[in-house]
A and B are shown apart, each in its own frame.
Chain A
């Protein structure tokens, strides 16, 4: 058994930590307060090249292993989860199908610019009436000449209102349920494609999230992203573990950010003549938080290691996502207690972590759905 990062992974982590500390973390509070997409930071940060994290070097990527990817997700979320959401969307879900199924022309138009940060990508699963329940997808794609005609409305789309292209999940045959689901590329400027309502969110502010409307949108056949019709859900399964582990890594990042603030506060805040960190009840909180965060970290990186080595990571990914997010909620809660009444003021940071943490409850599957999946998988069909 070997739990150590390699010297190279260790170095990568150091670079990410420094870069986030220098570029992202100092802007987190402002991003949250303004709740506008931070274009300037986007340009500066994506100019470094991280959006190609997962992709091969031949096309300008970094070919990072899954451990490095988790390190990146964790650290950037520690800096600013509002910003991290947008960045990770371009890195992972927003470009995954384009990279896997797009032809050369699509890659030139969408993938490479997205890896350079020149185009903003997104992925549209969720609808008003369907989230974790993909089978309830109502957006339709109907064969029309040399292409497809798409109708429907997507909701809760990260980067949606500012995206340059999106991968949209639609059913080509509602009677087939999950087996009728497929992915299509829709680019900005396509007639009938528009963005609707922009959501005013509790947390993850700075990420522009909202509604995308497909009103009789026609796309050519090359925009169908897949080998054959009806395999959309299988493709989702191929990326789901990584998405869940990523969500867990982000939760860990938020927890770490809040924890660091709490630690600094406990060292400096004086009550009854001494720093509150001298009191046992405060120390207990740190003991608990550190224990939980270490456990979550082990799960996430163990899962990433399994994924990297081609093992079955379905259970660990779901469990790690769920556990890390619950740990994150616990940690941000404890930090608000350590901060006392100050945590209730927008001036201080704990409230931001407190709000941001809740977002991760939903992404990558609600915990209710995850638990059901885990239990079902363990017990099997009786």
Chain B
């Protein structure tokens, strides 16, 4: 039985998402352990320019390049994935737990009658058993899960779960052609690509998050400036979103997005459970709050007890200087 691994490559605005490289890196490590092949699966239109980027990360690249796959749709993408999976019979299919991943993989799993573990943060393969690490109950509990009664398993991971390790392979490219058609029952009218937010919140390495202590929407400008210096994103607590100071898509927490950046800075965030559930897997957490009893300090690695309106300008200058030196 094959022990090959598929990694679904996700693209955004014509380039490959960072999280796909993370999955390729982890996939490669697993494939080596299993003495099997790692397939990067690239669906899309006019993707030739992307192929070279993937080559060092995979053993093989399955490319389906057709206009029908230009924009992501579950119907066409599920068909294409189903075709490739049936043809190559992989043992594991890895994807990202992004908006696209959450739409595609459950449908695909049902189509294939395959088990799916979603929103995982780690994976180990030992003695032919797959062990998947997945936080549940908002991160209060870590579960270790395996699959059984199946030749194939699908796992999706939170972005930023693995580090990127560039390999030295030169993957063989296999062009696949297949018949797919769009489901006529769904007709996309209009795509509104939001603003020009550079990095996806879930993929950002750096998130600076504002809470109620920011006092008003106008004060988020300085957070934007700091985020820009570090190439990160601004997040918001539920209180902030509920007060309509920021959009829901910026919300970090149980009812918003789950993030695990390398560095999270919470400014005027109290640290209510529904918020910390969405960020407590961040690598390093910094909290700025004038209340020394704020719950957020229990989750933080570093804390500053001070008025954030004093700290933020200093932080902005400090980081700016740091970037200029570098």
Question: A residues touching B (Cβ–Cβ < 8 Å)?
Answer: 268-270, 342
| Interface status of B312 (Cβ within 8 A of chain A) | no
| Interface status of B163 (Cβ within 8 A of chain A) | no
Q: List 6 A-B contacts (CB under 8 A).
A: A268-B293, A268-B295, A268-B298, A269-B293, A270-B298, A342-B293
Query: CA separation between A342 and B293, bound complex, in Å?
Result: 11
| Best-buried of A268, A269, A342 by chain B (most CB within 10 Å) | A268
Query: CA separation between A111 and B293, bound complex, in Å?
Result: 49
Query: CA separation between A269 and B297, bound complex, in Å?
Result: 10
Number of interface residues of B (CB under 8 A): 3
Question: B residues touching A (Cβ–Cβ < 8 Å)?
Answer: 293, 295, 298
Chain A: minimal CB distance from B261 (Å): 24
Q: Which 3 A-B pairs have the closest CB atoms?
A: A268-B295, A269-B293, A268-B298
Chain A: minimal CB distance from B306 (Å): 18
**Nearest-neighbor residue (CB-CB) of A269 within chain B:** B293
A residues less than 8 Å from B293 (CB atoms)? 268-269, 342
A residues less than 8 Å from B298 (CB atoms)? 268, 270
Chain B: minimal CB distance from A278 (Å): 13
**Nearest-neighbor residue (CB-CB) of B292 within chain A:** A270
B residues less than 8 Å from A268 (CB atoms)? 293, 295, 298
Query: CA separation between A270 and B295, bound complex, in Å?
Result: 10
B residues less than 8 Å from A270 (CB atoms)? 298
Query: CA separation between A270 and B300, bound complex, in Å?
Result: 14
**Nearest-neighbor residue (CB-CB) of A264 within chain B:** B295
**Nearest-neighbor residue (CB-CB) of B294 within chain A:** A268
**Nearest-neighbor residue (CB-CB) of B295 within chain A:** A268
Chain A: minimal CB distance from B270 (Å): 10
A residues less than 8 Å from B295 (CB atoms)? 268
Chain B: minimal CB distance from A262 (Å): 14
**Nearest-neighbor residue (CB-CB) of B271 within chain A:** A268
B residues less than 8 Å from A342 (CB atoms)? 293
**Nearest-neighbor residue (CB-CB) of A275 within chain B:** B298
Query: CA separation between A247 and B293, bound complex, in Å?
Result: 35
Query: CA separation between A181 and B293, bound complex, in Å?
Result: 56
**Nearest-neighbor residue (CB-CB) of B298 within chain A:** A268
**Nearest-neighbor residue (CB-CB) of A268 within chain B:** B295
**Nearest-neighbor residue (CB-CB) of A265 within chain B:** B293
Query: CA separation between A202 and B101, bound complex, in Å?
Result: 57
Chain A: minimal CB distance from B141 (Å): 18
Query: CA separation between A270 and B293, bound complex, in Å?
Result: 8
Query: CA separation between A298 and B204, bound complex, in Å?
Result: 53
Chain B: minimal CB distance from A335 (Å): 15
Query: CA separation between A308 and B295, bound complex, in Å?
Result: 45
**Nearest-neighbor residue (CB-CB) of B297 within chain A:** A270
Chain B: minimal CB distance from A227 (Å): 54
Query: CA separation between A342 and B295, bound complex, in Å?
Result: 15
